[in-house]
Amino acid sequence: MSKEKTLASKMLYDGRILQLYKDDVELENGKTSVREYVRHSGGACVLAVDEDENIFLVTQFRYPYGAETIEIPAGKREKGEDPLACATRELEEETGLVADNMRLLASVYPTPAYTDEILYLYLATGLKETKAHLDEGEFLGVEKVPFEKAYQMAVKGEIHDSKTLVAIYAYAAMKARGEF
């Protein structure tokens, strides 16, 4: 198994949602290199599927891309927060839904080259309506979309968000195996 030894570590930036580090490392061949990376508390997201096989997608403007994205409900984990608690909170906050059943679909490393972020993807079923309550400064739209349409949107490249693509494809694989 490959491993790099940290020789020195320096935090370059300590922000509200992330920290940026620059480390000097020793490689397995004895040479040295520099690693720049982001520490992030990670997040949780939810593929919410109703009894008619509709899923709930959110649209919101994402500043780094300068564009609106199509995503499943998701949010950042608070320090020490259980991923399931985060997913449950975000589902209700963003869509006004609560679920009788939450099942972990996958945990993914969205960008392993430069961050330690882990995203936990859940499947929510047995949905009931409550009331959405967005975070301050959060503006998004919610759409109920038939799963097959969402799957086709993913296949055609209309959805770019990785967590949403993984969740859609994971659910499609579960359906193909007869799990739903």
Secondary structure letter of residue 115 according to DSSP: B
Residue 38 to residue 121: CA distance in whole angstroms: 21
Q: Are 151 and 168 in contact (CB under 8 A)?
A: yes
Residue 85 to residue 42: CA distance in whole angstroms: 13
Beta-carbon neighbour count of residue 108 at 10 Å? 18
Q: Are 54 and 144 in contact (CB under 8 A)?
A: yes
109 Cβ neighbours under 8 A, 6+ residues apart = 117, 118
Q: Are 127 and 50 in contact (CB under 8 A)?
A: yes
- Is 136 annotated in the active site? yes
- Record the tokens describing residue 153, joined without a space: 């949107």
Catalytic residue among 26, 136, 143, 179: 136
Question: Could you list the active site residues?
Answer: 136
